Amino acid sequence: MKKLTLLMSALLIGVVAFAADAPKVTLDFSTKEAIEAWGLPSDYKTTEATGLTYTSGGNTITMISTSGGFKGAKGENGNYLIMKTNSILQLPAFDFAVSKILVYGRSGASAAAVFNVYVNGNAASTAVTSAAVTQTFLIASAYQAAGNVYGIKVTNKNQQITKVEVYEAVAGAPANVEFSLEEQAYIEQKVLTLSCPTDGASIYYTTDETEPSASSTLYDGAITVDQTMTLKAVAIKNGVSSNIVTKTITIVSTEGQGTKENPFTIADAKLLNDKYPGAQWVIGRIIGVFEDNVPVVVDATAGTETAANLAITDGTDTIAVQLLNGSDIRTALNLKDHKEFVGRDIKVHGEILSYFQRAGIKNTDDYEFDGISTALEEETATEQKDMKLIENGQVIIIRNGARYSITGVELK
């Protein structure tokens, strides 16, 4: 009997039932014929709060967009459904429990696009940024019920969708593994714990980007993360697995700490861009503004009409600082009215987010000028009479035929 039991156990391990690996429903927007079959408008269309319905292949979707609009793009630039900020693609009410929804994006969409899946206004998954790749939304156990109406909502920028795949939850599958750390950047090593709300479920994980299974490493205690790690985890109970959860925990070595006393450098901001939540302090030297996605030097002879941002540099890299319209920050700092600030070192407080297609500081809410010696102010005034230009994002000063960095180092 013992041998038979062992044999049956081995067989069970060999036939572990994973969450469905094929979509139950696919909504296609990837061809001209598909766009026409849905009957989607070719020009941006806005709707009332109840939205407009479109049907194809037995599936009916509802498009809701009370401001930015949506449309079905087709032609030589590609075929896709495009949704602007606050637009919602409402899926049909399915007669099965949903475990995950895959949204296929395309390279033309905004890299800053933020979107998520909602049920009755509640987030049913975790929001993601970047619409240009396929995003997997794992539906929380509380929202895995037949009859739920799922809405894919864009909350920032625009999303371009070529396909949506909906996967059925497997009966008896345990809840998804939960991570104690968010998928973001950290500036010191962290301790990661994994858990599963389903009693009796075992957790297995990998760190080499392979798919975890019952033959992978069994989780039996906290994991120290001291370098960037992509970890995939699955919960298994009675031979049935949950969805695989993947998270990349980024560990970054920075010069600063993001505090007023020890602010992040511009090099730090580049490392942390879009991955380090919350407002932080960043230090740099004001050289001008950004126009048409490139930094433009401002000085006493070449002013600017741009009041919406500052360009600050560390002598090598340059980033933009957002000055919100109508804010006291814009009134106090804009170079349209304050050209005298060019060359001043400044600490700014805001969120490190993509701005002008690179790392930037957005939602700026505070600032402080660093102490600058009289000698440095005199040097800055002299530099303003020299010719300045941008080479590979770096400010170059031409003085008496020689080339210098913004910090005065002669360039060869």
The per-residue pLDDT for range 213-246, each reduced to its tens digit, is 999 999 999 999 999 999 999 999 999 999 999 9
> pLDDT grade, residue 388 (50/70/90)?
low
pLDDT at 317: 93
Kindly state whether residues 310 and 208 are assigned to the same domain. Answer: no
pLDDT at 385: 45
> pLDDT grade, residue 11 (50/70/90)?
very low
Q: What's the CA gap between 308 and 289, in Å, rounded?
A: 8
pLDDT, tens digit, 9 for 90 and up, residues 267-315: 999 999 989 999 999 999 999 999 999 999 998 777 899 999 999 999 9
pLDDT, tens digit, 9 for 90 and up, residues 71-94: 999 988 889 999 999 999 999 999
Q: What's the CA gap between 172 and 201, in Å, rounded?
A: 11
Q: Give the position of tokens 């511009």.
A: 266
Domains of the chain: total: 3
The maximal CA–CA distance of the chain, rounded, in angstroms, is: 94
Q: What is the mean pLDDT of residues 330-337?
A: 94
* C-alpha distance from residue 77 to each of 68, 74, 108, 133, 161 (Å): 21, 7, 9, 17, 14
Long-range CB contact pairs, 58-63, < 8 A, 24+: 59/25, 59/27, 59/92, 60/92, 61/27, 61/89, 61/90, 61/91, 61/92, 62/88, 62/90, 63/87, 63/88, 63/89, 63/90
Q: Which helix (H) or strand (E) holds 377?
A: helix 374-383
Pair 57, 39: CB distance under 8 Å: no
Kindly state whether residues 136 and 182 are assigned to the same domain. Answer: no
pLDDT at 303: 85
Other CB atoms closer than 10 Å to residue 57's CB: what's the count?
A: 12
> pLDDT grade, residue 133 (50/70/90)?
confident
pLDDT, tens digit, 9 for 90 and up, residues 135-191: 999 999 899 999 999 999 999 888 999 999 999 999 899 999 999 999 999 999 999
Kindly state whether residues 299 and 334 are assigned to the same domain. Answer: yes
Percentage with pLDDT > 70 across the chain? 85
Kindly state whether residues 328 and 186 are assigned to the same domain. Answer: no
Kindly state whether residues 30 and 145 are assigned to the same domain. Answer: yes
pLDDT, tens digit, 9 for 90 and up, residues 349-379: 999 998 998 999 999 999 999 654 333 344 4
Of residues 75 and 199, more confidence is placed in: 199
Domain-located, residue 2: no
Q: What's the CA gap between 209 and 359, in Å, rounded?
A: 27
pLDDT, tens digit, 9 for 90 and up, residues 252-264: 999 999 999 999 9
β-sheet bridge partners, residue 63: 52, 89
Task: Give me the phi and psi of 188, to 5 degrees please.
Answer: -155, 160
The lowest-confidence range among 125-134, 264-273, 388-397 is 388-397
Domain-located, residue 1: no
β-sheet bridge partners, residue 246: 232
Q: What is the mean pLDDT of residues 323-347?
A: 94
**Range among 11-15, 16-20, 33-37 rated most confident:** 33-37
Q: What is the CATH number of the domain that holds 398?
A: 2.40.50.140
Domain-located, residue 4: no
pLDDT at 129: 83
Which residue in 13, 55, 15 sits closest to 36, CA to CA?
A: 55
- Range of 103's domain? 16-168
pLDDT at 378: 41
The tokens describing 343, both together, are 């060359």
Q: What's the CA gap between 172 and 285, in Å, rounded?
A: 59
Single residue among 168, 187, 208 that ends a domain in this structure? 168
Domain-located, residue 119: yes
Q: What is the mean pLDDT of residues 383-387?
A: 47
pLDDT at 201: 97
Domain-located, residue 148: yes
Q: What's the CA gap between 394 and 267, in Å, rounded?
A: 13
Q: What is the CATH number of the domain that holds 221?
A: 2.60.40
Kindly state whether residues 214 and 129 are assigned to the same domain. Answer: no
Domain-located, residue 112: yes
- pTM reported for the whole predicted model: 0.74
Q: What's the CA gap between 388 and 409, in Å, rounded?
A: 14
Kindly state whether residues 164 and 212 are assigned to the same domain. Answer: no
* C-alpha distance from residue 273 to each of 64, 98, 199 (Å): 31, 33, 38
CB neighbour list of residue 369: distance below 8 Å, 6 or more residues apart: 344, 345, 346, 347
Q: What is the CATH number of the domain that holds 126?
A: 2.60.120
pLDDT, tens digit, 9 for 90 and up, residues 34-45: 999 999 999 999
CA angle 84, 89, 91 (to 5 degrees): 175
End-to-end CA distance of the chain: 82
Q: What is the mean pLDDT of residues 55-70?
A: 96
